[in-house]
Amino acid sequence: MSGKFARFLLGGALVAGLSAASALVARAGRRPFSPEAPGFRSKGPAGAKVAIVEFSDFQCPACREAEQPLRALLALHEGRIRMTFMHFPLRQHEWARPAAIAAECAGRQSRFWEYHGRLYDRQAEWTNKDCDAFLTSYARELDLDADAWGSCRRDPAVGAAVDRDAAAAANAWVGGTPTFFINGRRFVAARQLAELGAPFVEKELKR
């Protein structure tokens, strides 16, 4: 075998190998991304074909804006999507971390999603120096055990849970909020979720 022909075969094998590797990476990227989170921050069937993971900040205006297309997507495919929320309070948002802790404690009384909804729907109301009073009023509206909720907010383990989510965000190269992973594929903010994420969900459900 001539040296030239041998190099040709080797080059072809290398290209084929790289193509196969690329295909494997592409398939791997579409596997559900499932960072560790308590069960109360997930909803939808565990075996759903589509898994959405959101890294979000309750004080973030872009996160509030993304709520409408996200809620519409979940309603359209109710029972076919697994949704998981991950805390990622940004440092520049003074009240985001207290809100995350408050929601986490509501979750420990099985009311995470209701509390989550209030935080986004009333974002303009509580993001100020009266934040604590509003967070407490939302807990009262949901009939949470006030003593247990207050004690939970002071528990260092709850803050540590929020920090673990932020670490997971860093490990996934999340640079801003909201960031969504749909079956492992990244979509950032409301526009990408609505214009690219929704068709991707449709495609994944048909696979």
pLDDT in tens, 140-178: 999 999 999 999 999 999 999 999 999 999 999 999 999
Summarize the confidence of residues 80-99 as an average pLDDT: 97
- Please tell me whether the overall predicted TM-score, pTM, comes out greater than 0.75 for this model: yes
Query: β-strand 81-87 against 50-56: which pairing, if any?
Result: parallel
Does the pLDDT at position 82 exceed 50? yes
User: Is the dihedral angle over the CA atoms 183, 188, 194, 199 positive or is it negative?
Assistant: negative
Report the pLDDT value the prediction gives residue 34, as an integer from 0 to 100: 74
CA atoms within 13 A on the CB side of 20: 6
Tokens of 72: 């519409």
Per-residue H/E/C for the chain: CCHHHHHHHHHHHHHHHHHHHHHHHHHHHCCCCCCCCCHHHEECCCCCCEEEEEEECCCCHHHHHHHHHHHHHHHHCCCCEEEEEEECCCCCCCCHHHHHHHHHHHHCCCCHHHHHHHHHHCHHHHCCCCHHHHHHHHHHHCCCCHHHHHHHHCCHHHHHHHHHHHHHHHHCCCCCCCEEEECCEEEEHHHHHHHHHHHHHHHHHHC
Confidence band, pLDDT 50/70/90 cuts, at residue 35 = confident
- More confident call, 33 vs 204: 204
Domain topology for 39-206 = Glutaredoxin (3.40.30)
Q: Report the C-alpha gap between 188 and 203 in whole angstroms.
A: 19
At residue 56, φ and ψ (nearest 5 deg) are -145, 165
For residue range 104-135, what is the model confidence (pLDDT) as tens digits?
A: 999 999 999 999 999 999 999 999 999 999 99
Number of residues written out for the chain? 207
Work out the end-to-end distance of the chain between its first and last CA atoms, rounded to an integer number of angstroms: 45
CA distances from 18 to 11, 13, 171 (A): 11, 9, 26
Does the pLDDT at position 185 exceed 90? yes
Q: Report the C-alpha gap between 156 and 31 in whole angstroms.
A: 33
